[in-house]
């Protein structure tokens, strides 16, 4: 029985690239797909299963002797080998290199199986041609034929359908399905719609490791992974603001927030004192601290929702607090998302209208939206992977998707400052990744300054480089 165990492994491929902390079990009755954004380490994981790389830490056991790999890299290496043979006059090779038939026969396949696959893949006319002369799609057919005919214990298929026409993709998938009872398969794919129906498990790769492993029959988690891949991989950017309702102007030479010598206390209980903090435009911040450290208190001093904001030296958006400005004058510059807001947003309007309500800072929608506002709201739904559910009631969404929607609602008017108070609170790991990925896009693609508040200082977000620990 084929059982592969990867126990907290670091796998080194080059001096500059390694997989790190890989924990994975591939059992005999399982078929896996590795999925993730470009550069996430998918192909390196496939190479690890083929025995490449050196184990620097941890334990890797159970790799079978007969592993066959079909990948662009294997294709490239084989073509390069044929080029070298063709150019080496001392090798005694045909100037054009080996024939496709010789390539197929390299792994001592079953001749009868080769004949059956040759007919099935319709490649008889290709076998006598030099391998180097074949097209990308023809080369891929030959590699698939060779790998399957070798009857491997483990078959690793990195984008196996690339270069094949639609009819051939059906033939290959049908053939692979017939092997599923006898051969363990691991696929590397970029597209969910190419995952074969017999695949049992999904591994999500990110930053040279595996961060999620789910069974394909866990429909809810698979949907979350698909949504995460969409946000990570899409070239969609943060939608533009509504030009007809521009955001209020600020003086770009002044900080958004400046607090000097802050002190907040309740009787003898001091929350913090002697605190200075300045938030410049486009300088994103992460604020961390334990329960009771004053994180939400600090945010409420910015928004004006804390009574002691008027007895402290606080400057926000050009206003010195306590000089007659109203809370609503301040809040027009701010987008705010918190668990408390999610609890308050109990109306059952559709997702599109939830985002549109952000233009009016209302819980629910009580205005007639413009066509431009509807268009922008649809773009936000597209960005977070929910465009096909525009009319679904908000209260029927999962907890994590509700949080994504509220962030989009807060961002739809492109506030100068987006405050995210514990946006991952109550979320499982996949939904936490969804929220953090959306925040990364906002930091990268918008003119909004982000204050991200959480408990964990080690929970870093790409694009945030300023840190305040309370």
Q: Are 288 and 469 in contact (CB under 8 A)?
A: yes
Same domain, 326 and 434: yes
Q: Are residues 107 and 194 in the same domain?
A: yes
How many structural domains does the chain have? Answer: 2
Per-residue pLDDT tens over the stretch 327-336: 788 888 999 9
Is 153 found in the same domain as 77?
yes
Answer yes or no: do 115 and 77 share one domain. Answer: yes
Residues 364, 264 share a domain: yes
Q: What pLDDT is recorded for position 253?
A: 86
Tell me: do 415 and 282 sit in the same domain.
Answer: yes
* Cα–Cα distance, 420 to 448 (Å, whole number): 12
For residue 326, the model assigns a pLDDT of 79
Region 17-32: what's the mean pLDDT?
A: 95
Q: Does 95 lie in the same domain as 221?
A: yes
Quote the mean pLDDT of the chain. Answer: 89
Q: Give CA angle at 335 (333, 340), nearest 5°.
A: 135
The 10s digit of each residue's pLDDT in 253-285 is: 899 999 999 998 888 888 889 999 999 999 999
Average of per-residue pLDDT across 44-70 = 94
In a domain, 142, yes or no: yes
Residue 15 resides in a domain? yes
Element at 285 (helix H, strand E): strand 285-288
Residues 453 and 321 in one domain: yes
In a domain, 248, yes or no: no
**Containing domain of residue 14, as a range?**
4-233
> Same domain for 226 and 298?
no
The pTM of the whole model exceeds 0.95: no
Identify which has the larger pLDDT, 225 or 326: 225
Per-residue pLDDT, averaged over 139-143, amounts to 90
Q: For 246, which DSSP code?
A: P
90 has pLDDT over 70: no
Nearest to 227 by CA among 444, 462, 440, 435: 435
CB of 469 closer than 8 Å to CB of 453:
no
Measured distance CA(93)–CA(216) in Å, rounded: 48
C-alpha 323/C-alpha 291 separation (Å) is: 32
Condensed to tens digits (0 to 9), the pLDDT of residues 208-255 reads 999 999 999 999 999 999 998 888 887 888 888 888 877 888 888 899
**Is residue 200 in some structural domain?**
yes
Same-domain status, 35 and 167: yes
In the predicted model, what is the mean pLDDT of residues 16-36?
94
């Amino acid at each position: 029985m084929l059982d592969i165990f990867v126990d907290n492994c670091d796998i080194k491929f080059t001096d500059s690239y390694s997989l790190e902390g890989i924990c994975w079990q591939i059992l005999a009755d399982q078929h896996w797909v590795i999925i993730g954004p470009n550069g996430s380490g998918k192909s390196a994981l496939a190479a690890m299963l083929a025995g490449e790389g050196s184990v620097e830490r941890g334990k890797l056991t159970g790799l079978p002797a007969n592993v066959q790999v079909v990948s662009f890299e294997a294709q490239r290496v084989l073509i390069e080998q044929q080029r070298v043979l063709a150019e080496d006059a001392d090798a005694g090779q045909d100037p054009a290199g080996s024939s496709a038939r010789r390539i197929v026969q390299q792994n001592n396949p079953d001749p009868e199986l080769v004949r059956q696959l040759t007919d099935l893949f319709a490649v008889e006319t290709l076998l006598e041609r030099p391998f180097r002369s074949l097209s990308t799609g023809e080369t891929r057919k030959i590699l698939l034929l060779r790998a399957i005919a070798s009857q491997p214990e483990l078959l690793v298929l990195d984008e196996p359908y690339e270069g094949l026409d639609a009819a051939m993709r059906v033939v290959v998938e049908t053939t692979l399905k017939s092997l599923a009872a006898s051969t363990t398969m691991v696929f590397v794919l970029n597209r969910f719609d190419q995952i074969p129906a017999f695949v049992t498990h999904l591994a999500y790769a990110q930053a040279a490791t595996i961060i999620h492993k789910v069974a394909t029959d866990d429909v809810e988690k698979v949907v979350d992974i698909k949504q995460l891949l969409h946000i990570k991989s899409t070239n969609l950017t943060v939608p533009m603001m509504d030009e007809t309702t521009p955001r209020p102007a600020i003086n770009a030479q002044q900080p958004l927030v400046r607090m000097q010598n802050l002190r907040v206390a309740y009787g003898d209980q001091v929350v913090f004192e002697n605190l200075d903090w300045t938030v410049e435009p486009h300088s994103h911040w992460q604020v961390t601290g334990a329960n009771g450290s004053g994180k939400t208190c600090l945010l409420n001093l910015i928004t004006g929702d804390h009574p002691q904001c008027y007895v402290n030296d606080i400057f926000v958006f050009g206003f010195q607090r306590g000089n007659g400005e109203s809370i609503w004058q301040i809040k027009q510059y701010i987008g705010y998302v918190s668990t408390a807001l999610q609890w308050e947003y109990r109306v059952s309007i559709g997702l599109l209208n939830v985002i549109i309500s952000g233009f009016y800072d209302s819980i629910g929608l009580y205005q007639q939206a413009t066509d431009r506002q509807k268009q922008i709201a649809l773009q936000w739904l597209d960005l977070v992977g929910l465009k096909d559910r525009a009319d679904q009631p908000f209260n029927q969404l999962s907890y994590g998707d509700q949080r994504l929607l509220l962030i989009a609602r807060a961002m739809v008017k492109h506030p100068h400052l987006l405050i995210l108070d514990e946006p991952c609170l109550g979320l499982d790991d996949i939904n936490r990744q969804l929220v953090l990925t959306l925040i990364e896009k906002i930091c990268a693609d918008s003119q909004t300054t982000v204050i991200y508040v959480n408990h964990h200082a080690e929970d870093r977000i790409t694009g945030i480089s300023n840190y305040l620990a309370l």
